[in-house]
Structure 1
């Protein structure tokens, strides 16, 4: 699934008023990640991956100033929010984080 239209449909499961421009911007910002089967999904069961999202995306890219514990809790809440989806699309996951922290201006 490497089509932004398909990702927008996925995001609609969690946000009925999806910001399609934001989804498109996140999709583009991830570059080749969205096309690679190993990287297009978030594995909530992989602590290393969640650490990379916490430190790289939330702390550095979005500049969220919370403790590691607080950020880990947010990641777990997002994993729970997407629990019905076995394959959690990275763009959808990031969209939920961006909107949660109101960081749309970063995209």
Structure 2
């Protein structure tokens, strides 16, 4: 594992611990990060804008529906907004890997990442 990816994993794990009061499953977090590919190294792609509705729709369509295979419905957007709220308005950098990790765990879809 590269030093850069290792540092990002540690940063993401810190956010999961601090913002969501969870002890991260590092093996699962690594799978989520690996699934994001090179996007984790691009600042714009690595972050989720919690105030941008089109960004939240993208998370819903591309991650929750396409990747996790969930049925579309208002519960999906509610879950995304709940994670964004818990992440905190004061936290400007809402990392996509953290948001995806939390959403996958909340929907019990860790098995998608094998």
- TM-score w.r.t. structure 2 length? 0.85
Question: CA offset at residue 66 of structure 1?
Answer: 4.1
Q: Kindly indicate whether residue 77 of structure 2 is the aligned counterpart of residue 82 of structure 1.
A: no
Q: Kindly indicate whether residue 29 of structure 2 is the aligned counterpart of residue 48 of structure 1.
A: no
Question: CA offset at residue 60 of structure 1?
Answer: 1.0
Q: Which runs of 4+ in 1 moved over 4 A?
A: none
Unaligned runs of at least 5 residues, structure 1? none
Q: Count residues with an aligned counterpart.
A: 106
- In 1, distance between residues paired with 2:95 and 2:107? 19
- More helix per residue: 1 or 2? 2
**C-alpha spacing 1:70/1:49, structure 2 compared with 1 (3 Å):** same
Unaligned runs of at least 5 residues, structure 2? none
- In 2, distance between residues paired with 1:5 and 1:74? 25
Q: CA RMSD in A?
A: 1.5
